[in-house]
Structure 1
Amino acid sequence: MITETPRFASLPPVAADQDHMSVLIAVDTSGSVSGEAIRNINANLNNFKGIICEDPIAAKRVDVCVISFDDEVRVIQDWCPIKEMHSFELSCGGCTDLNDAVLTGIQKIRERSREYVEKGIVERKPYLIVMTDGFDTVTGNVDAAADLVYERVTGGKMKLWFLGFGEYDKATASKLCRAHGDWCFEVKNGDFNFNDFFDFAANSVKAVSTSAPGEEVTVDTAVGTSQSNVSMVPLRDAWLND
C-alpha cells in the first residue's frame, strides 16, 4: 500500500537557469531493521545533506525526496532543494513493501522530471538510492519493480544505488540490479555503519551535479576496498544466496 501524505510538502526547484539533478532515497523501516541501524540511517541522512551543501552550486542544483517503506510506502520528505531537506527520526515496524517502494521512487522521479520540463530546466541523470535488509514480504516478489528499473537504467534515464545490509536477500538484489552489471553495495559482517556508503553517494551527487556537460566524473572512495566496511558484491549466482 502506498501512502501519499508527505510529512514535508514539495518545494519547487531553485535556480531554474541551471541544470538540476534529483535524488530519491528509499529507506527500509520494517521491523527487522535494528535500532542501531535506523539510528545510523537517521544520522547519515543529515550527513548526506551536509556533504552536498558544502558546494554552493550543488546546493542549488540538487533536489531530494525521501520515502520510507514497511507495510506501507510513505513519502516523508517530498521534493525540495537539498538545503531545505529536514532531519528525520525514523522508527521501524511491520513488513517490507520493497516492490512498491521502488515503483513509488521511480514515480516520484518522473514527477520531478516533468516539473523540470515545465520550467525549462535541463536535467542531469537522477539517482534512486534504495537500502534494505530484506526482501519483499508484502507483494512476495519485486518483478514489476525490477522490470521498470531495467527499462529506466538501460534507457539512460536513471542510476540505481542499491545497498544491502543485515540479512538482505541477494536474489532480490540481483533482480533489481541486473541492468548495471548484476552487483550491489553491501555492508560487511552485519555492520550497521553506513558512513562510507552515504559519503560516496553524496560526493558522487555533488560531483555529477556540478560537472560540465558531458564531463566524465570520478569520485575518490574507499568503498569496495579492504579499508571500507562497504563492499561491491557480484550477484550473478544470487540464487545460491551465499
Structure 2
Amino acid sequence: MGLEKLEDIVDIPYPQHPHCATVLVLDTSASMSGNKIAELNEGLRILTDELKEDDLAVKRIDLAVITFGKGVELVRPFTGISAFDPPELSAGGYTPMGQAILEAVRLVEERKAEYRTIGTDYYRPWIFLITDGQPTDMRKGDEIWEKVIEAVHGGERDHKFLFWALGVDQANMTVLREISPPGRTPLMLKEAKWAEMFLWLSKSLSQISDSRIGEQISLENPVGPEGWGVIQL
C-alpha cells in the first residue's frame, strides 16, 4: 500500500476552504417531550435545508450534534453540510448539561487539531446550547460546575469558541446566565418562534462562511421587535 495523504486520514471535505465547526448541544430530557421535541426536530431540518442552499456554507460549515437526556450522546459527529443528515431526536431521562458542555468543548478542540493537521484554516467555532430546564449533573460550586465555568468562560476569553445559550419554556435562566461567558447574555425563546430561531442560526452561519477569518460581522439582532428571543432580567 502507498503512503496515505493527510487529507485521506482526516476526513474533512473541501480542505482548501476555511471551516467553521459548529456544535449543537441539545436538551432531550423528559421535559422536552411532546411539542418541544417535535419543534426541535423540525428546526434541525430547517437549519440543514437552509445551509444546503448556500454554496459557501456547504463547503465551510461542519455541524455536530450532542444531546443530553438519557446520558450524553454524540448523535452526529462533525459532518460537512452536504452530507449532514439531521437526526430524529426523542425525549427522555434527566438533564446532564454539565457533561454535555464539557464534551462539546472537547469535541471543538479535537476538530481544530484535525484542521491544523491538514493545514485547513478555520473560523472561531460555535457552541450552541438549547435547554428547557437546569442541569441535574452539577450544582453551583461543585467539581463539574467549576470545570464547566472555567471551560466556557476560559474558552471565550482565549478566543477558542463562541458559546451561545438558549432557554426555552421553564429553563433556569439564572443558571444559564452564570454558565454563559461575560458579555453574552443567554436568550429566552419567544413562544412558537422555533423556526425563526433556526433560520437566524442558518443566516448567521452563512454570514460567517461568507466572511474572512477574523473579520467582524454584524449578526441580525435576535431580540429586536421581530426577533425570536428575549432577554430575561
Tell me whether the two structures share a fold, i.e. TM-score over 0.5: yes
Task: State the AA in 2 paired with 1:198.
Answer: F
Task: Check the 8 A contact 1:12/1:81 in 2, yes or no.
Answer: no
Structure 2: distance between partners of 1:145 and 1:84: 31
The corresponding residue for 1:164 is 167
Deviation at 1:192, TM superposition (A): 4.6
- Unaligned residue ranges in structure 1 (runs of 5+): 1-10, 235-242
Task: State the AA in 1 paired with 2:77.
Answer: D
Deviation at 1:72, TM superposition (A): 0.6
Alignment of 1:58-77 (within 5 A): 58-77=57-76
Deviation at 1:182, TM superposition (A): 5.0
Task: Check the 8 A contact 2:25/2:65 in 1, yes or no.
Answer: yes
Task: State the AA in 1 paired with 2:40.
Answer: I
The corresponding residue for 1:124 is 123
Task: Check the 8 A contact 1:67/1:105 in 2, yes or no.
Answer: yes
The corresponding residue for 1:78 is 77
The corresponding residue for 1:239 is none
- Unaligned residue ranges in structure 2 (runs of 5+): 1-9
Structure 2: distance between partners of 1:232 and 1:198: 18
Q: What are the Cα deviations for residues 41-61 of structure 1, in whole angstroms up to 9, with x where unaligned? A: 101111111222222111011
The corresponding residue for 2:36 is 37
Alignment of 1:102-121 (within 5 A): 102-121=101-120
Deviation at 1:108, TM superposition (A): 0.7
The corresponding residue for 2:47 is 48
Say whether residues 1:206 and 2:209 are aligned partners.
no
4+ residue stretches of structure 1 with deviation over 4 A? Answer: none
Task: State the AA in 2 paired with 1:143.
Answer: E
Structure 2: distance between partners of 1:139 and 1:214: 35
For 2:187, which of 174, 185, 191 is the aligned residue? Answer: 185
Task: Check the 8 A contact 1:71/1:138 in 2, yes or no.
Answer: no
Alignment of 1:11-26 (within 5 A): 12-26=11-25
Structure 1: distance between partners of 2:76 and 2:66: 7
Of stretches 71-80 and 193-202 in structure 1, the one that deviates more from structure 2 is: 193-202
What is the TM-score when the length of structure 1 is the normalising length?
Answer: 0.85
Deviation at 1:172, TM superposition (A): 1.2
Task: Check the 8 A contact 1:165/1:192 in 2, yes or no.
Answer: no
SS state of the match for residue 38, structure 1? helix
Structure 2: distance between partners of 1:158 and 1:214: 12
Structure 1: distance between partners of 2:215 and 2:78: 26
Structure 1: distance between partners of 2:97 and 2:192: 19
What is the TM-score when the length of structure 2 is the normalising length?
Answer: 0.88
Structure 1: distance between partners of 2:51 and 2:193: 20
Task: State the AA in 1 paired with 2:201.
Answer: A
Q: What are the Cα deviations for residues 69-110 of structure 1, in whole angstroms up to 9, with x where unaligned? A: 014100000111022111222111111000001000111111
SS state of the match for residue 18, structure 2? coil
Task: State the AA in 2 paired with 1:211.
Answer: S
Task: Check the 8 A contact 2:122/2:213 in 1, yes or no.
Answer: no
Alignment of 1:214-229 (within 5 A): 214-221=214-221, 223-229=222-228
Structure 1: distance between partners of 2:192 and 2:106: 29
Task: State the AA in 2 paired with 1:193.
Answer: K
What is the Cα-based RMSD across aligned positions, in Å?
1.7
Structure 2: distance between partners of 1:213 and 1:178: 22
Task: State the AA in 1 paired with 2:90.
Answer: S
Aligned pair count reads: 220
Structure 1: distance between partners of 2:138 and 2:186: 22
SS state of the match for residue 31, structure 2? coil
The corresponding residue for 1:90 is 89
